Amino acid sequence: MEEKNRELAELSNKDSLTGIANRRCFDATLEQEYSNLKQSNGVLSIIMIDIDFFKEYNDYYGHVMGDECLRKIGGVLKYCIRCSADLAARYGGEEFACILPDTDINYAVKIAERIKQYIHELKIEHKKSSVSEYVTASFGVATVRYSPERTPAEIVAIADKLMYKAKISGRNRIEYAEV
C-alpha cells in the first residue's frame, strides 16, 4: 500500500503529456529551494522557455503533432537537466521552466544554450514560423540570491519578463540577468 501511495504521489507531480515535472511540482520545489537559499547564501537560477509560434504550429500541423512536439521538447529538457537537484517542468501550455539550485548565471546560460541547440537538432519542421524552418524557443534566465523582500513568484516573473524580451527581440534567443 505504501509503495502504491508513493507511485501515486510521483504521478501527481508529473505532467502526463511530457513525463517531466508539472506546474504543481515546480511551484513546490521553487518554494523549497528559495527557502534553502536563506541558509546557504547561495544562488538560484530559473530558466523560462516558450516555444516560438506554437499556436501557429498547432493550427497548421494539428494538436496530435503539437502534443508530439511538446513531448520531444520535454525529452530535451530531461536530457539537458542532469543534476539531481535540478528540476525541469512543463509550466503550462507550450511553456517550460527549469529550477537550477546553486547554479550561477554563466552556467545557467550554458544550460539554456544547450537546450536551445538540442531543440534545433530535433529539426521539427515548422512552416508557419518566421524565425526558422524548424521549431525554436525563446529563453529567459534569471539568477538570484535570497532576499526577504523577494518571493519565489517574483523570481519567476523576472525570468518570464526576460523570456518575453527574447521574444520581442526576435525569438530563438536567450535573455538573462543576475538580480
Q: For this structure, is 94 an active site residue?
A: yes
Catalytic residue among 3, 33, 56, 94: 94
Distance CA 79, CA 82 (A): 7
| Distance, C-alpha 170 to centroid of its chain | 19
Instruction: Extract long-range pairs of 55-58: CB within 8 Å, 24+ residues apart.
Output: 56/126, 56/128, 56/129, 57/126, 57/128, 57/129, 57/135
Let me know if 149 is exposed, middle or buried by CB neighbors in 10 A (0-12, 13-18, 19+).
exposed
Residues 77-110: b if buried by 16+ CB within 10 A, e if exposed: beebbeeeebbbbbbeebbbbbbbbbbebeebbe
* Beta carbons of 90 and 15 less than 8 angstroms apart: yes
Residues marked active site are found at 94
